[in-house]
Structure 1
């Protein structure tokens, strides 16, 4: 390969973007650890099954009720009576949140615990406390024991002390239907008792009674009933607090008063009884509250009735006395009559005044000397006046007719004029008489009206006083009747005890237990068995900054090829290839040799004979080991090979050759140059056909020796004689020795040790290649775990070992290698 082309490829690789994720390789990276997944899965699933066996199932009981809506209810109860009286303003209703809080209250739960006797717990025989009970939980005998203990006295302080000393557990052994032995565990009490006996302990007293709720005794052929049991006494408040923590109370819908209650317990029947008793206690407390209000309301109404009755009697007596003094029967009727009379007199006065006006007008008209017509039908002076006026008007009309044909001196005209003056005088006198009569009538009407006015002026004060008395009477009567009505309503509400919480669904148990959930536990066990190794492997990969597989190299660079992989050699296995035996090591180097011949011939590097440098980043990565085995493998193919020890600072060839390599070598040649290089080449016990040029004595200035001009020609001389010149060099990352002589190499075999070499080494190699410090580098991955090896190499290793190792042995080795690497 051309050096410039190599530099260009490396430079492009440095600037290239990361490769997309290879899902197949990613999955295989986890699948190769399948024994870990299998073992963790088995362990976690076993733990999950044991957890299910150790933990008793917990069931959930549910009940639902509807809370009575006080806002929509008619105010007919005793509470409503107080509301009507205005004494309970703002306290007539309670919000649904308050009802939820009341159902969760400690008081209600405590009452339920006492009513059901839940602080006395019955168990099957066996350990209740300690390690044994944690590993093998005992069964609770709720309503299943033939006898029960009815507490008469319980001292909480002494019971707490007994609990600390683990003396609150009793063991009951049945001797017969009426006799039993009661023994205090970890205590001093033990005695034989019969049904009905009173048992006195330091912290409690109880009576032994038959349990009516217990199942019927087993018939012949069936399993016998309980022959003995244990009893555990607990503080009521402790049991109440524990049950409250398990209780949930919630609205089914925000727009309704439907409430759902739920509780979890290992005994389904016990959970149902707790919910039903809790609803019962809630209703009992609500009824007691209503009855208390009703009784208080009744007492209040009775007291008020006594006071109102007395006040009403006083008001009615005052009303009677007022009528007697003022001689009144019905003040309203009398006032109406007087007012009507006054109205009549006023009307008459109006009529008289009108007639007077008319009379005065007529008199003014009659008093003139004119003999003209007079107004008729004026309603003044009665019939006679009307007749005079009619006669007068007739004569005036007749005179006026005569004057049309005669003069006023005509005797007929004169005669009519005299008659008219007489009639007119009569009319005037009649008007004077009528006016005098009207004036007299007017004065009489005024006098009568004055009398009625004085009577009217007296009535308002009487009426006002009477109305005040009557108003007091009406108020007292209304309040009296109202209180009588409320007393009857209150009596009805006291008799009717309707529950506040209407039961929609009585407590029932859901079919499947809520805990432990078998599917969930097994699923978590399976998931945990998968996640633990997955997380460990992933974490190890994230934290691991070393190179382990060829994929780690290929993911970071494709500019530099990978010659192959050398497998990990376990302790006790040979570290050198041998033609007499077929080992994984021999097969791996045979593959490397084949790959090397293919690459060298394809790229046509440097002609026929090749000079190959073997280097690495640091010490201990297998440079000498690889150089020796590669040289021996090439010799087996019939090639002439010389192995040159160019690591003048820390030579290692002598450690693999027990024949004793000459003390003179490369350092001697470079320092003195007096002999031919071939005089320093020696045979070795490693292989009869393998020649070695040892490093020689360690010089004081190895870098100065390597800089001498004789080093390059020396390699050219060797290449003329040998097909392959294998040069074992110093570590390139920590020393400059390899860079000084690398320009003479046809290929640089750069060793990467799996599990030891850091990933940053690849960047160093890429940069060094781009700068021209390394010539034609190619990677060799050393000490590879068999599980991490590429498929082709792995197959080749296995194929080479197939004659010596069975399939099961190979699988065993693989599992062992995975565990060793992990």
Structure 2
């Protein structure tokens, strides 16, 4: 049961220890959080906030012949028209985000000139109220070749300002409204006195004015504005952009929609104007022809003295009324087809074709509308590219194909109408035979009236089409309907304050955590008793010696109540329990060997202070310098005792007695010291002599405790040779110095039997790692008040 409880505790220890590794450095986490939050505050204070501005519009559908029957009539253009219709919204998106439209918007709003208020740390753009307006009147040759320098303008009064330039030697005072000649050109500064209070607030303040070419600014806005068709099945467009100045972005998006509508209206007006022009030219021709027919009728009736000859052939004419109507319709369509063919043969590929002139062929009407759309699309492409552009060449080929197709359709239609007219003429001869009895004059008069009627109907029809074109020109509505005018978010979208503060808080905690974790990960040294217990699970740790400050004494003093003195008292007490288990005679002294793995772990320091602690109890103690290779005991002795004979002389010279090498310590009357003596050439062989055993036996008779400061066990074999002479072997490990991998050596030596009766002593322990936690220490007699109690003076 005890074993199970021990295993459960050892499993729980690592988690508590890991937590303690971080909580003991709580001040680093607090400092990290404070520094991170301060940096986040500075970042947010001087970083320009960005707001999102949005606007929503709907692209209106225009009337187009797109019924299944009409599309079937253009099977030869199927792929072209399909691409044209499906890419309609994409085309509108391209127009919206085109450099041409955005450049017009920038020019209209004057966005190529930026005004900024210069602060001590941060420069902010001003837009809602600008105290003055800089007009760049003209640029000389230098201004056209190099970039225009930034101007620093300081308002001195209602009539005067100070002007400086960033890169050019410009510095002077000028009057508002006067033309100023500068190295790059001429400017005029006009004050904005609409709000005098706001204008005066800019006195003694510097405003930075930056001029950029409109094309460069348009390219910047092309990258900033985002236009999307979020719902693919609709014509709704969503426009948005991120900006630090919301009023400026709202004006830009609203003006962008306005410029788009003006461009679309201009396209429609161009078609209407060309149609109206065509109708006017035809009206002039029809008017002359109608006048000629009417004069012929008047002359004919005058010469033949005719009044109402229709009454005589009323019955025959009533039967022929339906025929006349057909003949009239065919004649009208034939005349319109000839007129359209003449116009196309005389016009160029760059001109628009007249639409809606009355041709009844749906094929021709649809082809003309699509042809005009391609002409407009080609003209827009030519504004931003050359005639050799592959896209322009492709569109020109499509225009040529469609123009040829329209001309062929008109010719086919004209031929069909001629055949129909020929058939009607044949039928007319039949009717004429029926009215053979009608005088020849009536037949001539009937022909004249028929010509007059055709011309009059055609004249009225053209007048109607001209009025419709005029109405279309006057009543053009915007193509983009505004759903939501431009509006901006109330809170900035970047930087996000809660996210920045949260990130800084996490960073403030994470950086110390990673630093501590990295330090622990790279640290291979022993730091606490738990590191020793993990490697030496069955070897007891009977003492922990705290790390001393440089100002503290290395040796324990009389009536010493320091933490180090208490640690040695605990070590002394734990030794008593170990000696209880020994079966030696009570009248003999007890022998201790103090060793370590390598040099520098503090075995001599532990041995000397342990000897002093035992001597303070009134016991007779002798400290033997058994490290005859690298003696260190002399460091704690006065100068006049450092050169005395010691252990090596006793072993070598058989006539020497133990009393000859024993020195009385000045630190305590109960403490005696035996030095190492001269360093021999064969230390191991010397310690194997029988005189070594005799020396220890003699000391046991005179002293209660014999403490032997031996050599490091892993480096030399000296300690292994004399280990059999000791009752207890104290194995010293130094925290922060001894590598954890070196703990495998004492475990192997114990398992092999090279070292017996071993007890561990952990030296140089940091107070944070002392014992089983830094909550518990040796300051038992003096209670430390908490910080809160000291603040409250309680």
1:60 to 2:52 alignment: yes
Cα 1:288–1:590 shift into 2, 3 Å: farther
**Hey, what does 2:723 align to over in structure 1?**
742
Deviation larger for 580-589 or 619-628: 580-589
1:147 to 2:122 alignment: no
1:168 to 2:150 alignment: yes
**Hey, what does 2:33 align to over in structure 1?**
41
Question: Could you give the per-residue CA deviations for residues 435-476 of structure 1, whole angstroms, max 9, x where no partner exists?
Answer: xxxxxxxxxxxxxxxxxxxxxxxxxxxxxxxxxxxxxxxxxx
**Hey, what does 1:645 align to over in structure 2?**
625
Question: Could you give the per-residue CA deviations for residues 280-304 of structure 1, whole angstroms, max 9, x where no partner exists?
Answer: 3333344444445666677789898
CA–CA distance in 2 between the matches of 1:162 and 1:570?
A: 68
Cα 1:732–1:323 shift into 2, 3 Å: closer
Measured after TM superposition, the shift of residue 55 of structure 1 is 2.3
CA–CA distance in 2 between the matches of 1:773 and 1:297?
A: 117
1:536 to 2:515 alignment: yes
Cα 1:746–1:65 shift into 2, 3 Å: farther
**Hey, what does 1:121 align to over in structure 2?**
114
CA–CA distance in 2 between the matches of 1:699 and 1:676?
A: 19
**Hey, what does 1:820 align to over in structure 2?**
none
**Hey, what does 2:257 align to over in structure 1?**
279
Measured after TM superposition, the shift of residue 724 of structure 1 is 2.1
**Hey, what does 1:226 align to over in structure 2?**
202
**Hey, what does 1:51 align to over in structure 2?**
43
Q: How many residues align?
A: 626
Q: TM-score, structure 1 length as denominator?
A: 0.66
* C-alpha contact 1:323 1:329 (8 A) present in aligned 2: no
RMSD across aligned positions (CA): 4.3
Question: Could you give the per-residue CA deviations for residues 159-211 of structure 1, whole angstroms, max 9, x where no partner exists?
Answer: 78355xxx4214142532x665555455336353344x444434354444465
User: RCO higher in 1 or 2 (8 Å CA, sep ≥ 6)?
Assistant: 1
Where do 5+ consecutive residues of structure 2 fail to align? 283-335, 343-410, 436-457
Measured after TM superposition, the shift of residue 728 of structure 1 is 0.7
Query: What is the aligned counterpart of 1:329 among 426, 430, 435?
Result: 430
Query: What is the aligned counterpart of 1:561 among 540, 547, 572?
Result: 540
**Hey, what does 1:548 align to over in structure 2?**
527
CA–CA distance in 2 between the matches of 1:713 and 1:98?
A: 110
* C-alpha contact 1:588 1:796 (8 A) present in aligned 2: no
Query: What is the aligned counterpart of 1:627 among 607, 612, 616?
Result: 607
CA–CA distance in 2 between the matches of 1:660 and 1:545?
A: 40
Measured after TM superposition, the shift of residue 577 of structure 1 is 0.6
SS in 2 for 1:569: coil
SS in 2 for 1:688: coil
**Hey, what does 1:363 align to over in structure 2?**
none
**Hey, what does 2:766 align to over in structure 1?**
785
CA–CA distance in 2 between the matches of 1:98 and 1:326?
A: 53
* C-alpha contact 2:645 2:678 (8 A) present in aligned 1: yes
Measured after TM superposition, the shift of residue 26 of structure 1 is 1.7
Measured after TM superposition, the shift of residue 107 of structure 1 is 4.0
**Hey, what does 1:614 align to over in structure 2?**
594
Cα 1:504–1:315 shift into 2, 3 Å: closer
1:268 to 2:246 alignment: yes
CA–CA distance in 1 between the matches of 2:136 and 2:433?
A: 78
Measured after TM superposition, the shift of residue 574 of structure 1 is 0.8
Cα 1:325–1:793 shift into 2, 3 Å: closer
SS in 1 for 2:628: coil
* C-alpha contact 1:563 1:592 (8 A) present in aligned 2: yes
CA–CA distance in 1 between the matches of 2:88 and 2:728?
A: 91
CA–CA distance in 2 between the matches of 1:332 and 1:204?
A: 90
Cα 1:529–1:483 shift into 2, 3 Å: farther
Measured after TM superposition, the shift of residue 704 of structure 1 is 0.7
* C-alpha contact 2:160 2:173 (8 A) present in aligned 1: no
* C-alpha contact 2:142 2:183 (8 A) present in aligned 1: no
CA–CA distance in 1 between the matches of 2:743 and 2:528?
A: 13
Cα 1:620–1:189 shift into 2, 3 Å: closer
Cα 1:31–1:317 shift into 2, 3 Å: closer
CA–CA distance in 1 between the matches of 2:415 and 2:44?
A: 85
SS in 2 for 1:682: strand
CA–CA distance in 1 between the matches of 2:680 and 2:549?
A: 35
**Hey, what does 2:441 align to over in structure 1?**
none
1:598 to 2:577 alignment: yes
Measured after TM superposition, the shift of residue 702 of structure 1 is 0.2
Q: What are the residue-to-residue correspondences of 1:332-347 with 2, within 5 Å?
A: none
CA–CA distance in 1 between the matches of 2:249 and 2:742?
A: 68
* C-alpha contact 1:617 1:732 (8 A) present in aligned 2: yes
**Hey, what does 1:353 align to over in structure 2?**
none
* C-alpha contact 1:182 1:193 (8 A) present in aligned 2: no
Measured after TM superposition, the shift of residue 573 of structure 1 is 1.9
CA–CA distance in 2 between the matches of 1:611 and 1:229?
A: 89
Larger radius of gyration: 1
**Hey, what does 1:514 align to over in structure 2?**
493
* C-alpha contact 2:155 2:202 (8 A) present in aligned 1: no
**Hey, what does 1:248 align to over in structure 2?**
226
**Hey, what does 1:582 align to over in structure 2?**
561
